[in-house]
Amino acid sequence: MNEPLSIFELIVNASLLVQLVMAVLVIASLASWVMIFQRSSVYRRTLDTIDSFEEYFWSGIDLRELYSELEADQADLNDIEAIFVSGFKEYLRLSDQAGMDADAALQGAQRAMKVALVRAEENLDRHLPFLATVGSTSPYIGLFGTVWGIMNSFRSLANMTQATLSAVAPGISEALIATAMGLFAAIPAVIAYNRYSARSETLMNRYDTFAEEYSSILYRAAHAKKSDQI
């Protein structure tokens, strides 16, 4: 009784095009897993920085003092610190100008924070399009390899005087491996994309909420008699 072919033997004996398809899927799968772990670390670290900064921000520290601390180390600012610094810097610049309207100073600070929010969103969504691409295209790439392999298997029947299942089964099996590899690459990528998209949206809501609360503080400061009350 013949031993069944192993998956490794089927991959080695596959046609060149099917092997190329499998190689592309393996590379895509490995790259997506690297990005999955990298994004997980980024989101966990971002949540920690938001929690720690907000705790420090609402501890009653003078905002000018906080701004001075962060401005001295602008190269290492995280996203929420950049939102604070950009808003406060623009607010001070405009409010110090003679004859500047309080509302104009506030609007300038909000515009500066909006730019920082856009950059923060870009950082959170980085690599998510790649995961979406892997999740949506990998099954089709695997299916292409499967169709090509099955087509070659049936073409080989033309050279056989007697077609048997054992003659075409290896070719069909190696072709189906391409589909399995496509699904193996796509399923984790889709799950990670959906999970991380939701997490990115949650973190952006935290940023937006902070920016709104921060704007309220600047609004009160802009309409106060003395800006050094904040």
Q: What's the pLDDT at 229? A: 43
- Residues in the chain with pLDDT values less than 70: 1-14, 98-100, 156-171, 224-230
Q: What is the token pair recorded at 114?
A: 């909006």
Please spell the DSSP secondary structure of 171-215, one letter per residue. Answer: HHHHHHHHHHHHHHHHHHHHHHHHHHHHHHHHHHHHHHHHHHHHH
Measure the CA–CA gap between 73 and 90, rounded to whole angstroms.
17
Looking at beta carbons, which pairs linking 71-75 to residues 24 or more positions away fall under 8 Å?
none
Contact yes or no for 83/111 (Cβ under 8 A): no
Q: What's the pLDDT at 173? A: 74
Q: What's the pLDDT at 60? A: 85
Q: What's the pLDDT at 225? A: 44
Residue 10, CA distances (Å) to 32, 147, 173, 181 in order = 25, 16, 7, 13
Cβ-based burial of 143 (10 A; exposed 0-12, middle 13-18, buried ≥19): middle
Q: What's the pLDDT at 134? A: 95
For 149-163, write each residue's pLDDT tens digit: 887 777 766 666 665
Q: What is the token pair recorded at 34?
A: 């690297």
Contact yes or no for 112/23 (Cβ under 8 A): no
Please spell the DSSP secondary structure of 149-163, one letter per residue. Answer: HHHHHHHHGGG-SS-
